[in-house]
């Protein structure tokens, strides 16, 4: 489709109606992601943050579930990228005051409060804070310690600029004109007490609201003695205690006496699933997982000498890899799970700071148990400030205060052109917030496609220093990674050892090497010490290499003069129990990296032409949504569906959990797809082959007996999933036993069946959460509860039973659970060990099913008869293996596609240019599938919006003087990237075709003459690392 | 996942096991490793189509020579595992270390220097 290029040109040159910039409100992980996606696909972004630095709630977390990644470590590169991005303008300490206009062209007034520090002058030396005499509570550390009135929000803050808090500053609060210590001592003359409010009037095409949540505060009225007993904490306070940058430097201590606790309890659902005034009826969706994480991490801190107990109602571990995390916590880490609601908390004795918890267990036995520390798993809620923002923006909130959205437009607010993402649009975890952020950026980009690249500018760099003729001068930066490395490895020892290595002329250690200030330190060191090679000994190149490469490039060094010694993922994390050996190994790894980097050469990236078409595989609601968004953004899209009809599983759904007509929406999406000029649909079609790489894929699609070759720059995998066909509970033996939506369909087809029925039952977790399928299928609880409600509504005298293990109506779906109980639906809990028994029987000559289940309240088997039984069976992957092989992308243990990073790259693969969405990634409801599809489209558009693809210059290289023309390389290359050519007077010699080279290095390893080498993985570079490794 | 494995395993990063040349395996054994394992993708899953199959052939060839020169061929091994399979990597690292521990220090190392307190294993991945 060469004509596409012309269309792009046309769009660029025609008069744009929309404004090519976007306002993002809120600098948490959602806002940051949305800003980056937009800025990287041709839009200018204003990122408005109310506090002094971006980072949001994620910056306060210690670790993240289910990977136990260090939160700051994975967040920091994004914050730094945001801070240094040419097309993102950060406006901190600011609020939106007025919004006028409409989709495509809004005029927004943003009021920036004075920081009293000139950010142009501030060098973040910290002297103002050091000299400031006024100590105040540090809100970033949940008031557990003090900061000064002159402060920086947190050590890795972006922007790393100090601020003076006028609410507590002696100059402002005391007698005017007094103090000014900060001004006196500031070496940069940056303090400016005369700063006033600044109002920015900005023009934007769309607005993304990502203001986030606030933690429920359990003090008014006081819950469980919070605020009275010093050792009752909120979960966010506990996160800060665990954090290396927290009030106790990462030591597990309790506030009352700073002693190490031996016994900690977590109380779930504080402020959530609670109808008491001040609390919220909804489930906050994240607390079960974070409580498990906190318990596991606390045990790690205490080296297992710690008893942890989580008191809960339903364990809601419904996300990808969550159930495994729960099982591991229970079975491997020994976290206790107690299904009980705590009745009361009081001091264990007079003058004691220990706490006595009173509760009644499932059997009705009362217990008193004493704990040193109690953590309240507080929920998420919307703050008054955010409600005011919503009013300013003129958008509708739902009854819980969250932004109102629909399942089929999950990131659109009630006002066109204003989008939302993250916890503001309903309680949710980080991956889903990141997905929504990308989705909101996709929605904005589709709206403003005609203004793409109209307001952005390209990044330029200073010239590179010529290093080839120089002796290597290596700088080594060893990272503590908070306590991730520092608590195991003796970092100063590794730093000092590095100094003794050949060519190493500069060494340093840093608390977080990825923070913005460390980037400046590295750049300063490069300039001051004329470094021409850099080693960072830290986490993993997988997430952090690009960040450091960019840092050294900005300082004038070529990106490839860099090595990352992996002393966290491949050392401190995996040798936690052997700190001494880990320290020695860290030295070995630094030595190997230094030996290798000394031999690295500067390389130039190659620019390869880019095909601007997209291929989407799977024509369900996810695939269709992805295709629609890409096409709306102006990219020609091929949509391939195996079945004869578009629509997928969504066609079976009658109403969404928000009570929308699913069929009507799916039909509308299908119509839009089929009518779109930029979408080519292939139904009854199958992908049979794929070759190429990002920007340049060629696929073969077979329809009937014809094969069509498609060229595309990106691919989105949206192949969906299917439901498990059960063997159990008489399925297939009795026509009265059905699955999923079959019972609804039966009653629609034959209404007399429902009229005659007296009782209906649902069994949950059929085939899910079993040893050989240890994951939760996420949507089944909501589906059965929804069906039960509609049955009860239609026929109130019908007995409806739901047999479940944990009722997982997460988030605002909790309202459905409450409604079902109100309508008289009966819930029986069963355990994996004692599953219900279903038998055929006859009552009064009527055919019935008899169900026996052990009731958890009575402790007795309960027996009842029903007319129909509907099974909520597992959602299982469909043909994922075939596609995984074609695209060379990985699957997880359950055969769902495995994304590049569970937390922050939820739709990307490690392979560039390939993305995933919908059920192929993991079971999920429609609105999450659509958000994920739009997110995949946004990430794909990041690639397609570029003029060309930049590829690594890492290819093989023939030295024709050494070549003897044997042809082994040509025979070994699977890509035809090396061949023999006739050289006059010499016979045959090998020659590279660099554009086809995939850089596997097979030819270099095969060459008997060592005439072939691989750039950046040269034989001498690998051997240097091997030798250095053996030298220890 | 942070699954623990012995600290004597050090990883050399290569783009594909197809890049691991015969001489590099010898070099590792010569320069101080008591054992070497090459960790490639599952057969059929090679991102570069067949690099892991070639690596296996090369490993087998080096094993043969090791046998001929009187070094235990088991000091070198080829494993195939998926990039998403952390538990298996940890298990292989433990297995390999245990095997090398039983074999004792590499004869090359014993000859070159009498000091051989700890087994070391190098991995190419």
What digits encode the pLDDT tens for the residues A776-813?
A: 999 999 999 999 999 999 999 999 999 999 999 999 99
B84 and A892 in contact by Cβ < 8 A? yes
- Answer whether residue B16 is part of any domain: yes
A1029 and B32 in contact by Cβ < 8 A? yes
- The predicted structure's pLDDT at residue B117: 41
A1029 and B33 in contact by Cβ < 8 A? yes
- Answer whether residue B65 is part of any domain: yes
What is the rounded distance in angstroms from the CA atom of residue A963 to the CA atom of residue A160?
55
Which domains does chain A carry? 18-113+197-213+383-461 (3.50.50.60), 114-194 (3.30.70.20), 215-381 (3.50.50.60), 474-601 (3.40.50), 609-720+878-950 (3.50.50.60), 723-876 (3.50.50.60), 955-1014 (3.30.70.20)
B12 and A67 in contact by Cβ < 8 A? no
A846-891 pLDDT, tens digit per residue, is 999 999 999 877 788 999 999 999 999 999 999 899 999 899 888 9
Three-state DSSP state, A101 = strand
What is the rounded distance in angstroms from the CA atom of residue B12 to the CA atom of residue A514?
23
Q: Taking 70 as the threshold, does the pLDDT of residue A10 lie above it?
A: no
- Answer whether residue B95 is part of any domain: yes
Q: What is the mean pLDDT of residues A503-507?
A: 98
Residues in B closer than 8 angstroms to A892, CB to CB, are 84
How many domains in chain B?
1
* Shortest distance, CA B77 to any CA of chain A (angstroms): 17
B2 and A1001 in contact by Cβ < 8 A? no
Nearest to B18 among A592, A885, A1000 (CB): A1000
Q: Average pLDDT, whole number, for chain A?
A: 94
Q: Taking 60 as the threshold, does the pLDDT of residue A2 lie above it?
A: no
Phi, psi (rounded to 5 degrees) for B99: -60, -45
A1029 and B18 in contact by Cβ < 8 A? no
Q: Taking 60 as the threshold, does the pLDDT of residue A4 lie above it?
A: no
Model confidence at B113, pLDDT cuts 50, 70, 90, reads low
B16 and A1001 in contact by Cβ < 8 A? yes
Q: How far apart are the first and last CA of chain B?
A: 18
Three-state DSSP state, B57 = helix
Nearest to B31 among A573, A578, A1026 (CB): A1026
Residues in B closer than 8 angstroms to A1010, CB to CB, are 23
Q: Does B107 touch chain A (CB under 8 A)?
A: no
> What ipTM was reported for this prediction?
0.93
- Answer whether residue B3 is part of any domain: no
Top-confidence residue, B71 or A807: A807
A603-619 pLDDT, tens digit per residue, is 998 888 999 999 999 99
Residues in B closer than 8 angstroms to A574, CB to CB, are 2-5, 90
- Answer whether residue B1 is part of any domain: no
Q: What is the mean pLDDT of residues A136-163?
A: 95
- The predicted structure's pLDDT at residue B112: 65
- The predicted structure's pLDDT at residue A220: 74
- The predicted structure's pLDDT at residue B125: 53
A643-676 pLDDT, tens digit per residue, is 999 999 999 999 999 999 999 999 999 999 999 9
Q: Taking 90 as the threshold, does the pLDDT of residue A482 lie above it?
A: no
Q: What is the mean pLDDT of residues A20-26?
A: 98
* Shortest distance, CA B117 to any CA of chain A (angstroms): 11
B20 and A1005 in contact by Cβ < 8 A? yes
Find the range with the poorest average confidence among A298-312, A324-338, A367-381, A573-587.
A298-312
Q: Percent of chain A, pLDDT > 90?
A: 86
Residues in B closer than 8 angstroms to A888, CB to CB, are 45-47
A370 within 8 A of A263, measured Cβ to Cβ = yes
A1001 and B1 in contact by Cβ < 8 A? no
B48 and A588 in contact by Cβ < 8 A? no
B2 and A1006 in contact by Cβ < 8 A? no
Given the structure tokens 């470590």, which residue do they identify? A73
- Answer whether residue B4 is part of any domain: no
Q: Does B12 touch chain A (CB under 8 A)?
A: yes
Residues in B closer than 8 angstroms to A890, CB to CB, are 82-84
Q: Does B14 touch chain A (CB under 8 A)?
A: yes
A450-460 pLDDT, tens digit per residue, is 999 999 988 88
Q: Taking 90 as the threshold, does the pLDDT of residue A512 lie above it?
A: no
A20 within 8 A of A456, measured Cβ to Cβ = yes
A1002 and B48 in contact by Cβ < 8 A? yes
Q: Of A568, A1002, A1012, which to mutate for an interface test with B (greatest number of B Cβ within 10 Å)?
A: A1002
Nearest to B7 among A581, A885, A1023 (CB): A581
What is the rounded distance in angstroms from the CA atom of residue A977 to the CA atom of residue A995?
8
Residue A22's contacts (CB-CB under 8 Å, 6 or more residues apart) are A38, A43, A44, A45, A46, A204, A205, A206, A207, A208, A441, A444, A448
Q: What is the mean pLDDT of residues A342-346?
A: 93
A1019 and B122 in contact by Cβ < 8 A? no
- The predicted structure's pLDDT at residue B18: 94
Q: Percent of chain A, pLDDT > 70?
A: 98
CA A245, A248, A249, A253 dihedral sign is negative
Among all residues of chain B, which has the CA nearest to that of A1028?
B31
Q: What is the mean pLDDT of residues A196-201?
A: 98
Given the structure tokens 């969504």, which residue do they identify? A650
Q: What is the mean pLDDT of residues B15-40?
A: 93
What b/e readout covers A441-460, taking b as 16+ CB neighbours within 10 angstroms? bbbbbbbbbbbbbbbbeeee
* Shortest distance, CA B95 to any CA of chain A (angstroms): 16
What one-character DSSP code corresponds to residue A33? H
Q: Taking 70 as the threshold, does the pLDDT of residue A11 lie above it?
A: no
Model confidence at B121, pLDDT cuts 50, 70, 90, reads low
Q: Where are the beta strands (DSSP E) in A610-695?
A: 614-617, 637-640, 679-682, 685-693
- The predicted structure's pLDDT at residue B27: 92
A1005 and B15 in contact by Cβ < 8 A? no
| Residue A850 CB coordination number (10 Å) | 15
Which run of H or of E encompasses A106?
strand A105-112
Q: Taking 60 as the threshold, does the pLDDT of residue A433 lie above it?
A: yes
A227-248 pLDDT, tens digit per residue, is 999 999 999 999 999 998 899 9
- Answer whether residue B33 is part of any domain: yes
pTM: 0.89
| Residue A120 CB coordination number (10 Å) | 8
- The predicted structure's pLDDT at residue A542: 81
* Shortest distance, CA A593 to any CA of chain B (angstroms): 10
B74-89 pLDDT, tens digit per residue, is 999 999 988 777 889 9
Three-state DSSP state, A659 = coil
Top-confidence residue, A347 or B46: A347
Q: Taking 50 as the threshold, does the pLDDT of residue A773 lie above it?
A: yes
- The predicted structure's pLDDT at residue B122: 64
Model confidence at A274, pLDDT cuts 50, 70, 90, reads very high
Model confidence at A73, pLDDT cuts 50, 70, 90, reads confident
Q: Taking 80 as the threshold, does the pLDDT of residue A995 lie above it?
A: no
Model confidence at A13, pLDDT cuts 50, 70, 90, reads very low
Nearest to A1026 among B1, B12, B47 (CB): B12
What is the rounded distance in angstroms from the CA atom of residue A618 to the CA atom of residue A219?
50
Residue A583's contacts (CB-CB under 8 Å, 6 or more residues apart) are A488, A489, A490, A493, A494
A678-707 pLDDT, tens digit per residue, is 999 999 999 999 988 899 999 999 998 899
- Domain residues for B61? 9-124
- The predicted structure's pLDDT at residue A951: 81
């Amino acid at each position: 489709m060469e004509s596409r290029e012309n269309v792009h040109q046309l769009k660029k040159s025609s008069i744009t109606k929309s404004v090519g910039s976007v306002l993002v409100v809120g600098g948490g992980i959602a806002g940051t992601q949305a800003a980056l996606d937009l800025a990287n696909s041709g839009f200018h972004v204003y990122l408005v943050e109310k506090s002094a630095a971006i980072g949001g709630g994620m910056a306060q977390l210690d670790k993240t579930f289910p990977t136990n990644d260090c939160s700051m470590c994975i967040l920091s590169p994004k914050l730094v990228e945001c801070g240094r991005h040419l097309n993102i303008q950060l406006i901190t300490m600011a609020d939106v005051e007025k919004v006028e206009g409409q989709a495509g062209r809004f005029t927004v007034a943003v009021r920036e409060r004075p920081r009293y520090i000139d950010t142009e002058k501030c060098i973040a030396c910290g002297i103002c804070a050091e000299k400031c005499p006024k100590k105040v509570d540090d809100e970033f550390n949940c008031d557990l310690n003090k900061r000064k009135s002159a402060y920086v929000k947190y050590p890795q803050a972006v922007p790393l600029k100090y601020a003076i808090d006028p609410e507590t500053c002696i100059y402002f609060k005391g007698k005017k004109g007094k103090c000014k210590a900060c001004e006196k001592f500031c070496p940069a003359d940056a303090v400016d007490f005369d700063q006033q409010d600044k109002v920015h009037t900005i023009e934007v095409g769309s607005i993304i609201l990502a203001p986030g949540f606030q933690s429920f505060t359990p003090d008014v009225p006081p819950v469980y003695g919070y605020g009275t007993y010093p050792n009752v904490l909120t979960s966010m306070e506990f996160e800060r205690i665990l954090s290396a940058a927290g009030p106790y430097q990462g030591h597990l201590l309790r506030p009352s006496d700073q002693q190490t606790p031996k016994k900690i309890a977590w109380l779930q659902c504080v402020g959530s699933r609670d109808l008491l005034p001040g609390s919220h009826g909804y489930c906050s969706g994240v607390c079960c997982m974070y409580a498990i994480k906190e318990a596991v991490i606390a045990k790690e801190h205490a080296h297992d000498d710690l008893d942890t107990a989580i008191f809960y109602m339903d364990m809601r571990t419904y996300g990808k890899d969550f159930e495994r995390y729960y099982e591991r916590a229970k079975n491997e880490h020994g976290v206790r799970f107690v299904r009980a609601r705590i009745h009361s908390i009081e001091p264990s004795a007079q003058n004691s700071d220990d706490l006595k918890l009173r509760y009644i267990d499932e059997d009705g036995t009362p217990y008193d148990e004493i704990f040193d520390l109690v953590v309240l798993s507080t929920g998420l809620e919307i703050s008054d400030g955010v409600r005011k923002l919503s009013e300013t923006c003129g958008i509708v909130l739902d009854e819980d205060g969250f932004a109102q959205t629909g399942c089929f437009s999950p990131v659109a607010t009630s006002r066109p052109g204003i989008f939302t993402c993250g916890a503001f649009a309903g309680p949710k975890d980080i991956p889903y917030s990141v997905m929504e952020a990308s989705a909101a950026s996709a929605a904005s980009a589709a709206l403003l496609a005609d203004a793409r690249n109209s307001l952005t500018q390209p990044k330029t760099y200073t010239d590179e220093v010529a290093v080839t003729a120089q002796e290597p001068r290596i700088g080594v930066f060893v990272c503590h990674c908070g306590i991730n490395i520092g608590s195991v490895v003796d970092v100063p020892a590794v730093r000092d050892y590095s100094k003794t290595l050949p060519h190493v002329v500069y060494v340093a250690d840093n608390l977080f090497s990825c923070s913005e200030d460390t980037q400046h330190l590295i750049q300063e060191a490069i300039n001051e010490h004329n470094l021409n090679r850099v080693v960072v000994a830290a986490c993993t190149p997988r997430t952090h290499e690009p960040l450091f490469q960019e840092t050294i490039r900005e300082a004038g060094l070529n990106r490839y003069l860099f090595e990352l010694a992996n002393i966290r993922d491949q050392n401190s994390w995996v040798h936690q129990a052997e700190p001494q050996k880990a320290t020695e190994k860290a030295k070995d790894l630094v030595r190997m990296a230094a030996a290798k980097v000394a031999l690295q050469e500067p390389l130039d990236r190659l620019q390869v032409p880019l095909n601007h078409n997209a291929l989407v595989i799977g024509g369900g609601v996810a695939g269709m949504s992805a295709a629609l968004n890409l096409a709306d953004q102006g990219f020609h899209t091929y949509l391939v569906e195996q079945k004869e009809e578009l629509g997928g599983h969504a066609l079976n759904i009658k109403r969404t959990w928000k009570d929308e007509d699913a069929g009507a929406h799916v039909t509308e999406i299908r119509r839009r797809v089929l009518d779109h000029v930029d979408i080519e649909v292939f139904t009854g079609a199958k992908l049979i082959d794929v070759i190429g790489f990002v920007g340049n894929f060629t696929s073969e699609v077979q329809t009937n007996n014809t094969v069509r070759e498609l060229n595309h720059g990106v691919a989105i995998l949206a192949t969906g999933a299917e439901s498990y066909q059960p063997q159990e509970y008489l399925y297939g033996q009795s026509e009265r036993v059905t699955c999923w939506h079959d019972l609804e369909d039966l009653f629609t087809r034959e209404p007399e069946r429902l009229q005659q029925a007296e009782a209906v039952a649902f069994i949950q977790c059929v085939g899910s959460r079993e040893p050989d399928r240890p994951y939760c299928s996420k949507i089944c609880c909501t589906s059965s509860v929804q069906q039960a409600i509609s049955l009860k509504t239609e026929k109130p005298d019908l007995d409806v039973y739901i047999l479940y293990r944990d009722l997982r109506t997460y988030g605002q779906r909790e309202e459905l659970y409450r409604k079902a109980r109100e309508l008289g639906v009966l819930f029986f809990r069963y355990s994996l060990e004692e599953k219900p028994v279903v038998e055929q029987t006859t009552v009064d000559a009527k055919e019935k099913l008899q169900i026996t289940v052990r009731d958890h309240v009575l402790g007795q088997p309960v027996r009842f008869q029903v007319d129909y039984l509907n099974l909520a069976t597992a959602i299982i992957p469909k043909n994922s293996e075939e596609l995984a092989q074609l695209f060379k992308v990985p699957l997880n243990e359950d055969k769902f596609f495995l994304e590049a990073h569970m937390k922050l790259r939820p739709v990307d693969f490690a392979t560039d240019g390939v993305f995933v969405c919908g059920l192929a990634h993991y079971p999920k409801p429609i609105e999450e599938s659509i958000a994920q599809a739009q997110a995949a489209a946004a990430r794909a558009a990041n690639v397609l919006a570029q003029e060309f693809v930049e590829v690594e210059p890492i290819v093989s290289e023939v030295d024709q003087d050494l070549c003897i023309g044997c042809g082994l390389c040509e025979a070994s290359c699977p890509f035809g990237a090396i061949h023999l050519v006739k050289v006059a007077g010499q016979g045959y010699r090998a020659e590279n075709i660099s554009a086809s080279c995939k850089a596997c290095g097979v030819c270099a390893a095969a060459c008997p003459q060592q005439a072939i080498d691989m750039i950046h993985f040269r034989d001498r570079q690998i051997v240097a690392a091997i030798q250095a490794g053996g030298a220890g | 996942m942070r699954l623990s494995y012995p600290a004597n395993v050090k990883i050399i990063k290569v783009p594909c096991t197809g890049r691991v040349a015969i001489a590099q395996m010898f070099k590792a054994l010569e320069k101080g490793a008591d054992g070497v394992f090459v960790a490639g993708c599952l057969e059929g899953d090679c991102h570069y189509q067949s690099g892991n199959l070639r690596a296996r052939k090369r490993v087998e060839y080096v094993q043969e020579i090791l046998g001929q020169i009187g070094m235990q061929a088991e000091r070198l091994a080829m494993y195939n595992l998926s990039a998403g399979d952390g538990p298996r990597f940890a298990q292989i690292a433990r297995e390999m270390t245990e095997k090398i521990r039983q074999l004792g220090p590499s004869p090359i190392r014993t000859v070159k220097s009498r000091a051989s307190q700890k087994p070391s294993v190098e991995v190419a991945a």
